Structure 1
Amino acid sequence: MVALRADMFDEICPSTVLPFRIGGDKWAGMILRCLADGPRRYSELRIPLARISPKMLTQSLRALERDGLISRTEYERRVSYELTALGRSLLEPLRALCDWAEEHWDELLDARESAPAIRGHGQ
Structure 2
Amino acid sequence: MSDTLETAVVKPAPIAPGFTCGLDATLRIIAGKWKPLILYFLLRGPTRYGELKRAVRDVSDKVLIQQLKELDADGVVLRTDYKEVPPRVDYTLTPLGESLALALEPLCAWGAENMAEMQKIFAERDSWRRDKDARRS
TM range (shorter): 0.5 to 0.7
After superposition, give the CA deviation of every residue in 1:57-87 in whole Å (9 maximum; x if it has no partner).
1011011112111011111122211100001
Which one has the largest radius of gyration? 2
- Answer whether contact 2:29 2:71 (CA < 8 A) is retained: no
Amino acid at match of 1:53: S
* Match of residue 98 from structure 1: 108
Structure-2-length-normalised TM-score: 0.59
Residues 50 and 92 (structure 1), Cα distance of their counterparts in 2 relative to 1, 3 Å cut: closer
Q: Higher helix proportion, which one?
A: 2
Runs of 5+ consecutive residues of structure 1 not aligned to the other structure:
1-19, 118-123
Which residue is equivalent to 1:80?
Answer: 90
Residue of structure 2 equivalent to 1:110: 121
Is the contact made by 1:22 and 1:29 (CA closer than 8 Å) also made in structure 2? no
Task: Confirm or deny: 8 A CA contact 2:29 2:74 kept in the other structure.
Answer: no
Residue 41 (str. 1) matches residue 48 (str. 2):
yes
What do residues 40-71 of structure 1 show as CA deviations (whole Å, max 9, x unaligned)?
A: 11122122224111001101101111211101
- Partner letter of residue 59 of structure 2? I
Q: Distance in 2 between matches of 1:56 and 1:48?
A: 14
**Structure 2 residue runs without a partner (length 5+):** 1-26, 130-137
Q: Write the distance in 1 (CA, Å) between the matches of 2:118 and 2:70.
A: 30
Larger relative contact order, structure 1 or 2 (CA cutoff 8 Å, min sep 6): 1
Partner of 2:73: 66
